[in-house]
Structure 1
Amino acid sequence: MLVVIGRIGRAHGIRGELAVDLRTDEPERRFAPGSSVVCAGRSLTVKAARPHSGKLLVTFDQVADRTAAEHLRGQVIEADVDPAELPEDDDAFYDHQLIGLRVARRDGAHVGEVTGVLHLPAHDTLAIDAEGREILVPFVAALVPEVDIERRVLVVADVPGLLDPDAAETVTPPEGR
């Protein structure tokens, strides 16, 4: 099963090095020299990886120069993971663990079901089917305070406008503008 572990940013230097925005809590394992990843539909072998300015700079055997690296910008990097494997961190989840979870409010009221996980640059976002209407909820602790894989339920904070856009608070601009 493929699991998202990063997204390629800009090329770094002229030898094919790439800046990677991490989406894994195990970068030393997933980007270890010799490990294989999947990117843009093809398998790549990690040649080297090193931290740099809050990102990971990665070199792949198959990406020889800056031109080849620039073609990969924005692509998602995935690792092939055994479906039975669980992340080491208790607050980390693989997409397949989240998809299909029942979504409820804090009071237990049914909201819907998780149908997907979007890996956006700022943070992951849950796609939730709420009785035929898709709701996108940023997957951050303030909005998703509880995930119970065993009970197959995820709790979403009842923030005005989050689950019901019609209930969003409206801000009236100051007069004179």
Structure 2
Amino acid sequence: MRKSDCFYLGKIAKKFSFKGEVLAWLDTDDPGYFEDLQMESVFVELNKHLVPFFIESSRLHKNDFLRIKFEEVDSEEDADRILGAALYLPLNMLPKLEGDKFYFHEIIGFKAVDERLGDIGIITGVNDNSAQALFEIKKGDIEILVPMIDDFIVKVDRENKAIILNTPEGLVDLYLG
């Protein structure tokens, strides 16, 4: 399984018991979704490779963590080997989003259309390394950064692969000026 075919689920944060159980922090707004998913396995990143680990049991722990018992991880030493490792699942296991909610990877390649300015470019990425996530939009040689603010997003048009925006006057004009 290639990492590009997967999404980041979270990471193994700490050991839970002497029997090899671990607590995984899940990078999601709804950790409970993944408890009910009845996952048979997850991919654990070890030495830059995704390795399938089969799950014996899992359940939510204090709302933010998933307590997991993997097959063949039966001791604290076994758990130490996977501590801090990232967890991945195939993209097809993501819950479907509707309306104006979207996954960052889903909108790459979408057209960015401003209601006032028209087509302002193609979304090439999302920068979520700052306090406010930003659309990275490419128009020719120009990179335009638009904050991902709900008030700016008018519509996610999956059928036409476009995001309709209503940006304040001057924001995009700065880049195109």
Query: TM-score, normalized by length of structure 1?
Result: 0.62
Show structure 1 runs of 5+ residues with no match: 168-177
Verify: 1:27 aligned to 2:34, yes or no.
Answer: yes
Shift of 1:115: 1.6
Structure showing the higher helix proportion among its residues: 2
Determine helix, strand or coil for the equivalent of 2:96: coil
Q: Paired residue for 2:155? A: 146
Q: Paired residue for 1:133? A: 142
* Residue-by-residue CA offset, 1:59-100 (whole Å, 9 max, x unaligned): 26266645334332xx3x432245xx9843314545554221
Which amino acid in 2 is paired with 1:88?
Answer: K
Shift of 1:116: 2.7
Superposition pairs for residues 1-177 of structure 1, below 5 Å?
Answer: 2-8=5-11, 10-11=13-14, 13=16, 15-22=21-28, 26-28=33-35, 32-37=38-43, 39=45, 40-42=48-50, 43-59=52-68, 61=70, 65=76, 67-72=80-85, 75=86, 77-81=87-91, 87-91=95-99, 92-94=101-103, 97-107=106-116, 109-117=118-126, 126-159=135-168, 163=172
Q: Paired residue for 1:173? A: none
Report how many residues are paired. Answer: 161
Contact (CA 8 Å) 2:23, 2:65: kept in 1 or not?
Answer: no
CA RMSD of aligned residues (A): 4.0
Contact (CA 8 Å) 2:9, 2:28: kept in 1 or not?
Answer: yes
Bigger drift between 158-167 and 148-157 goes to: 158-167
- In the aligned structure 2, how far is the partner of 1:3 from the partner of 1:18? 17
Determine helix, strand or coil for the equivalent of 1:22: coil
Query: TM-score, normalized by length of structure 2?
Result: 0.62
